[in-house]
Amino acid sequence: MKHRLLTLLFLIFFARIANAHSVGLLMVATGKYVQFIPQLIESARTYFCKGHDVHYYVFTDGNLQPAPDTTIIFQQRLGWPHDTLKRFSMYASHADQYQHHDYLFALDADMLFVDYVGSEILSDRVATLHPCLVNQRGTYETRSISTACVKADEGTHYFAGGFNGGSSKEFLKMACTITANIEKDLEHGFIALWHDESHLNRYFIDNKPTLILCPDYCYPEGWDLPYNPKLVALLKDHKKFQN
Ligand code: GAL
Ligand code: GAL
Ligand code: MN
């Protein structure tokens, strides 16, 4: 009897360990954006991937203390819009630091977790529906000079640039492809309409997401939308932060 109970407890314990994954969460916070990071990481410690092994990676030129669960990667400010446009190139450049994780996710710095986000997001290619453009065409880049160009007969969903991820392998593959495409555009002196978000949307047309998250995972603070916020995009004076 006692033996059986022990076996059962061991099996439960083993199942827990076996289901625990290691997850890296990447955030770019150059210039003034660094001020969002302490509260964002605090909220992630409370709500993000509980029961999994999570590590944070912050790309910044600001003053942040590393912690046992947080790695700081120096990234100089590039100026608007390069601070957002070049995010995938930053993720690709430092892959050796986090490619060992099972999953990698990236999010805007000016966000906050307000409810539990867990195993339900773990998939190979994870995209989040843009909260303001659900069931709409979306603001794709449509100029044919761009590698992000989406033709009139393409595109089913429009995804937000604020939260995406996947298995390490898939996420880093996406980061490399998007980096190369943005480079090609820049060679023509071209920047897509919504910067990295435009390229992300092109990528997800060519490489369908294996999981589409609803706008709960990119909910604009202060809006009255029919979703249940889990990850909130904070209201802020964008102009002030981009300077
Ligand atoms: C913004 C993004 C922020 C931060 C910034 C660059 O577009 O919303 O989260 O990444 O670029 O530091
Ligand atoms: C805005 C958002 C931008 C971009 C745009 C797409 O609401 O602030 O970052 O996603 O929608 O149309
Ligand atoms: Mn933002």
**Position 113 in a domain:** yes
Q: How confident is the model at residue 240 (pLDDT cuts 50, 70, 90)?
A: confident
**Position 4 in a domain:** no
Counting the structural domains of the chain, the total is 1
Would you tell me how many other CB atoms lie within 10 Å of the CB of residue 226? 6
- For residue 79, pLDDT over 90 is answered with yes
**Position 89 in a domain:** yes
Mind listing the pLDDT tens digit for each residue in 126-155? 999 999 999 999 999 999 999 999 999 999
**Position 7 in a domain:** no
Of 25, 26, 27, 33, best ligand 1 pocket probe by most atoms within 8 Å of the beta carbon: 33
Supply the range of the domain harboring residue 106: 21-242
Mind listing the pLDDT tens digit for each residue in 205-231? 999 999 999 999 999 999 999 999 999
- CATH, residue 96: 3.90.550.10
Between helices 195-206 and 168-187, what is the axis angle to 10°? 120
**Position 202 in a domain:** yes
The predicted pLDDT at position 239 comes to 78
**Position 237 in a domain:** yes
Please state the rounded mean pLDDT for residues 56-75. Answer: 97
Q: Are 99 and 34 in contact (CB under 8 A)?
A: no
The predicted pLDDT at position 14 comes to 66
**Position 15 in a domain:** no
Mind listing the pLDDT tens digit for each residue in 165-207? 999 999 999 999 999 999 999 999 999 999 999 999 999 999 9
- Closest-lying ligand 1 atom to the alpha carbon of residue 29: 12
**Position 2 in a domain:** no
Q: Which residues line ligand 1 (CB under 6 A)?
A: 28-30, 33, 83-84, 108-110
